[in-house]
Structure 1
Amino acid sequence: MDTTGILDEALQRLHGSGPERLGRLSNHAPMAVEALVSRGRAHSVHRWLDLYAPKLEERPCGVEPVTDANWRSALGDPRRAADWITYFGREVAERPWRLVLAEWWPRLLPGVYGGSTHPAIRVGHAVRTLLTGESTEPRLAELAHGLGYWAARHHPVAEPAPLPGADTAAAALDAVTPIPEQEGAFAVRLGHVTGLPVWPGAITDPGEARHRLTELVRAATHRYATHGHGEATMLVHAATAPNAVLRVLPALPPALWAPSLRAAWTASAAVTAMYAPRHPVRYGPPGPLSPEAVLERAVAHGDEHVIKFTDAALDVGDERALVAALRCVELSEPLV
């Protein structure tokens, strides 16, 4: 729980910015500062924001208000990002945020691929803060920004053909076949993902769904250590996207947990197909690792994806996850 007030200050500072820059690149700052504060590094937040500030753009102008009557026509229209953020800002101001989330989660979940999965990840960070601390105005506004960004970038795809799967998440990820057309933007590559291994089967029990989702996050995090060289930045999302879903589960009705697992699996597996190398590499740390040392390396490095992936690795919490986080540090370009 943040008792410093720094997270609220940072979110207020950021909410004048748009969810993207250059028309396609996500604003990672709200996610990164939430991760820093959650990991006890609030004192690093404003300095980090000063370094990240050149990547921010002003919040875009609205086009037409989103309403309960016209929202379907606005879904998936990136030009309506400001309209959606305003809509959800009003929703969370007038209704309990859990009710808003429960209503919209099943509507947004099929479009988890939108914005390269960043909107769903942003929602995951926002929900973690609300679950562990006070529902302050800036934190509720951050949930509205995340949901609004997701609605604007909502991008459903055709159900991929079921391919032979595996019993475990790690084996199922290993069974994913990289697409042959490994060039182009996320949406272009996504169009070439036509089939994915079946995993974990027809799960309906909420407790089992949560267990399997935890397994998936662990497997995707571990896998980064040996496969992250395929695309150091984008392969982070094979772990951080399902981890965002896992963070949201406690705020959702249990009936939504199994559908959330299925969406998280397809997102993680699709990212793996789009960016994973054909051959893994051996990787081992130079010496003993501690969570504190790995976190310090990530904070000093400063890259937003490194910070968020390390945050997810600390959720997993074992040594293989720490090794993967260190690998992410080594593969990625530092912020400065």
Structure 2
Amino acid sequence: MPDATPSQDDAYDSTHDDTYDTAVNEALERLGHAGFFLGSGNQLRGFALHAPMGAEALAALGHGDQVPDWVEWYAGHRGLGAPPDLFAPIDAADPDSWRAALGEARRLADWATLFRREIDGAGWRETLVKWWPRLTPGMFAGLTHGVIRTAHAVRGITAVGAPSTVQLHELANGLAFWAALYQPPDGALARGAKAVGAVRTLGRQPKSKLFAAADARLEQSVDAALAELTAIGAGRYTLMRPGGNPVPAIHAVTAPAAVRMTLPHLPPQLALPSYEAVRDVSGTLLNIFTGRGEPDPAAPAVDAHDPAERRRIVEAAVELRDEHAIKIAEVARREYATYEDPRCFAAAHHAVRLLGG
């Protein structure tokens, strides 16, 4: 995967776009009373709410003017749920208190309250630096939605001169989802997922070989290794056939890209453990949710090196409105801007095709 100078066609810079700031803040204001899951009521399980992430990604693609309508569409078609009730306070200064609350979905509101208090008291960056290594072993949380939501919130905060209260609260929500849905590598859910993956993937390429190219890039940098890990997940995603659920495997693309997007705001010593954690998660996702075989011969070839084709893929995702299509298209644009690897755009094209079918 060659390194490259960012393409002007892809290197959208939201920090110089007032539309981005306005769109993200208005979306978060609209979603201020939303819960963490789709549907109605204050449920503590189900499909994760994607509206804050989708709105931020749509704005980052340069479509901030479409964010208000998109959020209303999402609320009507997906449902926003209601915030969960408080259960019991979590003491951030007491390891016994906060460790006991990890992975407890009923503590979602308690975690959100804790992180708002931490951010108000110490600042968002200090809170992120403090809690990122504590949460990293549980990155499988909610099929990686915790780390992804956190990453989108961090980008929103750093893209503006002075983050708003709702942006800081969104970071608290992302960290809270990660903490409350925390799944350690040796946890029951993770063990079960890996067991299912092993049964369904007998004879498949071992993870050590699957990610060998990404591991080799560590000699250059963790950033390069994460980019390659993302591209490997994208390449595997293009093997998915119509008929199955096209959503879960997308996170083998969006999760490592989310980690790569956040690492510049973290101490360097957290980079390698973060890479190792998301590599493990990506292997589990790919083993369970992707199939073997060749790409569907009916799928047209994608020339991702053609700027017009890249624009077409992004516009198709935006037009489809599906939150996962928007997010993977935004990842494709962001990754291509740095490394000019075509695999993420091929995956985004395939995702639009599967999700729109």
Change (3 A) 1:207 1:258: farther
> In the alignment, what sits opposite 1:189?
193
Secondary structure at the residue paired with 1:237? Answer: helix
Coordinate RMSD, CA, aligned: 2.6
Is 1:127 matched with 2:154? yes
Bigger shift: residues 124-133 or 58-67 = 124-133
Specify the alignment match of 2:309 in structure 1.
290
1:149 aligns with 2:185: no
Q: Distance in 2 between matches of 1:302 and 1:101?
A: 30
Alignment partner of 1:136 is 2:164? yes
Residue 5 of structure 2 is matched in structure 1 by none
Count the aligned residue pairs.
Answer: 309
2:25 aligned partner: 8
Aligned-pair CA distance for 1:223: 3.0
Decide whether aligned partners of structure 1 residues 304 and 187 sit closer, same or farther in structure 2, where only a CA change above 3 A counts.
farther
Q: Which residue of 2 aligns with 1:327?
A: 350
Q: CA deviation at 1:217?
A: 1.2
Runs of 4+ in 1 over 4 A off after TM superposition: 185-188, 193-196, 199-207, 286-289
Structure-2 residue corresponding to 1:35:
57
Matched, 1:216 2:229: yes
Contact 1:242/1:267 (CA < 8 Å) preserved in 2? no
Residue 3 of structure 1: how far off its partner (Å): 1.3
User: Matched residues in 1 for 2:215 and 2:332: separation?
Assistant: 28
Following superposition of structure 1 onto structure 2, how do residues 194-205 of structure 1 map, counting pairs within 5 Å?
197-198=207-208, 199=211
Normalization by structure 1: what TM-score? 0.84
- Please, what TM-score do these two structures have when normalized by structure 2? 0.80
SS across alignment from 1:241: helix
Percent identical across equivalent pairs? 34
**1:238, CA displacement in angstroms?**
0.7
Aligned mates of 2:335, 2:30 — CA distance in 1 = 30
Q: How far apart are residue 188 of structure 1 and its match?
A: 4.8
| CA separation of 1:14 and 1:228: change in aligned 2, threshold 3 A | farther
Aligned partner of 1:181 in structure 2 is none
Specify whether residues 139 and 187 from structure 1 end up closer, same or farther in structure 2 by C-alpha distance, changes over 3 A only.
Answer: farther
How far did 1:103 drift?
0.9
The answer on whether the counterparts of 1:231 and 1:276 sit within 8 Å (CA) in structure 2 is no
1:1-336 equivalences in 2 (<5 Å) = 1=15, 2-4=17-19, 5-21=22-38, 23-54=45-76, 55-68=79-92, 69=94, 70-134=97-161, 135-158=163-186, 188-193=192-197, 197-198=207-208, 199=211, 208-227=221-240, 229=242, 231-281=245-295, 282=297, 283-285=299-301, 289-317=308-336, 318=340, 319-333=342-356
1:92/1:246 CA distance change after superposition, 3 Å: same
**Rounded Cα–Cα distance in structure 1 between residues aligned with 2:80 and 2:191:** 23
Mark the runs of 5 or more structure 1 residues left unpaired by the alignment.
160-184
Deviates more, 1:79-88 or 1:291-300: 291-300
Change (3 A) 1:49 1:234: same
Task: Select between 102-111 and 17-26 the one with higher mean Cα deviation.
Answer: 17-26
Cα pair distance change 1:138/1:127, threshold 3 Å: same
Is the CA contact (8 Å cut-off) linking 1:213 and 1:261 kept in structure 2? yes
